[in-house]
């Protein structure tokens, strides 16, 4: 029997476990450890609540979790409750699949003003992540600035723009639905430091902006290069640009405007005691398509500023870390002998959920190739349970999670798949009932 600990129960963790089971079959015992009492990481806390079809992938992860050789160990924080060194002493391989749940910083003056937040916080708030349930975003403002031109910026703009009725069938948490219902937002500026050809938004997600009940996108036609230049783009981005061109050609008036502000980089956030405006510098592209400031400045009003500029993996004491890139220092997934990373913790926050499938398979193959074939002397799960007992940790099993899951489903409002618990205490009380 080989013993593997996977830290993180999101897509990268489950795809790695699935691949290990395929390669080692009955010869592996896998413990999937998560700091939260609930599994599925980004699927639960990151994927937009109105994109339920994407969340259906958890059925596949459940199949892995219910395998006899797999155990879920929730509510255990590696690096605090149990160290990575202790795990490495217990398991033949330890895989860090911790995702990238922390925000990258803008590093501009005013970033700490009330009303300024990162997408991890805001997305976590509307998705009911216990760390962000108390965020209280200032939705009493008429103007919001969203910084970044990726899919997360689109998610955030769409969630801010939707009517309460448009959340029917979603699992947006009650506190967010109630706050958004009273929102006074009229203008959402989507600020991109480069141009329409450089957006990181995918066509399906961008196309959704044209179908919102009370909000419509607006794009300045003068921001585009010649239409003929679109032919040089990859098909995906070409399709996205065709959406932007359609938005520019057919401006629609609705109560909320989603304004694309291209060629603008934030240089400061200003306000008396809270965010009131973002100061932007007009940019141009250099030969390598990087944005460079032109020296021309202007401001857009913004009582709330949400930076959607990418994420980073939280460092863990004793694990080599690449600060510039916000991920563990690794060579093709190997951090140290016996210690691996996978998914966003390995490559940074890029790609779709599906990208983690081949990523998990590569790490699993690597673990199989690098683990001695001789019988393991490691204690694996037995050793983990000894530590849990000695430290009086309140481990949450997959059975416990299924009780929490059932209670969330039972509490769902009409039409919703569930009402999530937003505090760890509520989750722990529920699993013990």
233 binds ligand NAP (CB under 6 A): no
Q: How far apart are CA 177 and CA 159, in angstroms?
A: 10
Residue of 9, 75, 98, 149 that binds ligand NAP (CB under 6 A): 149
The alpha-helical segments, DSSP class H, found in 141-221 are 151-161, 174-181, 203-207
327 binds ligand NAP (CB under 6 A): no
193 binds ligand NAP (CB under 6 A): yes
Stretch that binds ligand NAP, among 159-167, 196-204, 225-233, 372-380 (CB under 6 A): 196-204
250 binds ligand NAP (CB under 6 A): no
Tracing tokens 């995702």 back to the chain, one arrives at 99
Stretch that binds ligand NAP, among 55-63, 130-138, 253-261, 303-311 (CB under 6 A): 303-311
- Residue 288 CB, nearest distance to ligand NAP (Å)? 12
Residues 6+ apart with CB under 8 A from 262: 192, 194, 195, 196, 220, 223
Residue of 79, 148, 343, 380 that binds ligand NAP (CB under 6 A): 148
With contact defined as beta carbons under 8 Å apart, do 50 and 123 qualify?
no
- Number of residues binding to ligand NAP, judged by CB under 6 A: 25
DSSP characters for 39-102? --HHHHHTS-TT-HHHHTTHHHHHHHHTSTTEEEEBS--BTTTB-HHHHHHH-SEEEE-----E
| Residues in contact with ligand NAP, shown as a per-residue x/- string from 1 to 40 under the rule CB under 6 A | ----------------------------------------
152 binds ligand NAP (CB under 6 A): yes
Q: How far apart are CA 46 and CA 280, in angstroms?
A: 28
> SS3 of 416, please?
coil
Stretch that binds ligand NAP, among 173-181, 192-200, 217-225, 326-334 (CB under 6 A): 192-200
350 binds ligand NAP (CB under 6 A): yes
- Residue 267 CB, nearest distance to ligand NAP (Å)? 10
Closest-CA residue to 122 (of 43, 196, 176, 163): 176
Closest-CA residue to 39 (of 396, 418, 426, 428): 396
Q: How far apart are CA 131 and CA 401, in angstroms?
A: 19
103 binds ligand NAP (CB under 6 A): no
Nearer to ligand NAP (CB atom), residue 21 or residue 47: 47
Q: What is the DSSP letter of 176?
A: H
419 binds ligand NAP (CB under 6 A): no
Can you give the binding site for ligand NAP, defined by CB under 6 A?
106, 147-153, 155, 192-194, 198, 200, 202, 205, 265, 291, 308-310, 349-352
């Amino acid at each position: 029997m080989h013993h593997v600990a996977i830290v993180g129960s999101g897509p990268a963790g489950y795809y790695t476990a699935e691949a290990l089971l395929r390669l080692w079959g009955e010869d592996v015992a896998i413990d999937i450890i998560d700091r939260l009492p609930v599994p599925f990481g980004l699927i639960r806390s990151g994927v937009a609540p109105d994109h339920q079809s994407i969340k259906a992938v958890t059925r596949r992860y459940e199949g892995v979790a219910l395998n006899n050789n797999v155990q879920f160990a929730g509510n255990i924080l590696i690096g605090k409750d149990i160290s990575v060194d202790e795990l490495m002493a217990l398991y033949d391989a330890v895989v860090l699949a911790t995702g990238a749940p922390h925000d990258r910083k803008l590093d501009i003056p005013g970033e700490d003003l009330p009303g300024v937040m990162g997408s991890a916080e805001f997305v976590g708030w509307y998705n009911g992540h216990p760390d962000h349930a108390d965020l209280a975003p200032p939705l009493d403002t008429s103007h919001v600035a969203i910084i970044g031109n990726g899919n997360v910026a689109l998610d955030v703009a769409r969630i801010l723009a939707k009517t309460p009725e448009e959340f029917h069938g979603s699992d947006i948490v009650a506190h967010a639905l109630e706050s958004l219902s009273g929102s006074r937002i009229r203008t959402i500026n989507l600020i991109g430091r480069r141009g329409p050809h450089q957006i990181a938004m995918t066509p399906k997600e961008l196309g959704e902006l044209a179908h919102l009940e009370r909000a419509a996108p607006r794009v300045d036609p003068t921001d585009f290069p010649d239409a003929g230049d679109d032919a040089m783009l990859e098909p995906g981005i070409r399709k996205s640009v065709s959406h932007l061109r359609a938005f520019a050609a057919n401006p629609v008036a609705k109560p909320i405007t989603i304004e694309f502000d291209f060629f603008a980089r934030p240089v400061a956030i200003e306000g008396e005691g809270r965010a009131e405006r973002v100061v932007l510098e007009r940019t141009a592209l250099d030969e390598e398509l990087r944005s460079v400031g032109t020296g021309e400045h202007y401001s857009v009003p913004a009582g709330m500023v949400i930076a959607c500029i990418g994420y980073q993996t939280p460092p863990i004491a004793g694990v080599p870390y690449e600060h510039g890139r916000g991920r563990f220092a690794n060579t093709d997934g190997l951090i140290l002998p016996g210690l691996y990373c996978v998914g966003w913790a390995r490559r940074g926050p890029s790609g779709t959920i599906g990208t983690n499938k081949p990523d998990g398979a590569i790490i699993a193959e690597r673990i199989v190739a690098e683990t001695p074939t001789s019988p393991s002397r490691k204690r694996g799960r037995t050793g983990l349970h000894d530590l849990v007992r000695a430290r009086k940790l309140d481990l949450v099993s997959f059975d416990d999670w299924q009780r929490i899951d059932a209670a969330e489903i039972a509490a769902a409002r009409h039409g919703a798949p569930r009402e999530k618990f937003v505090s760890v205490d509520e989750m722990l009380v529920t699993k013990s009932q």
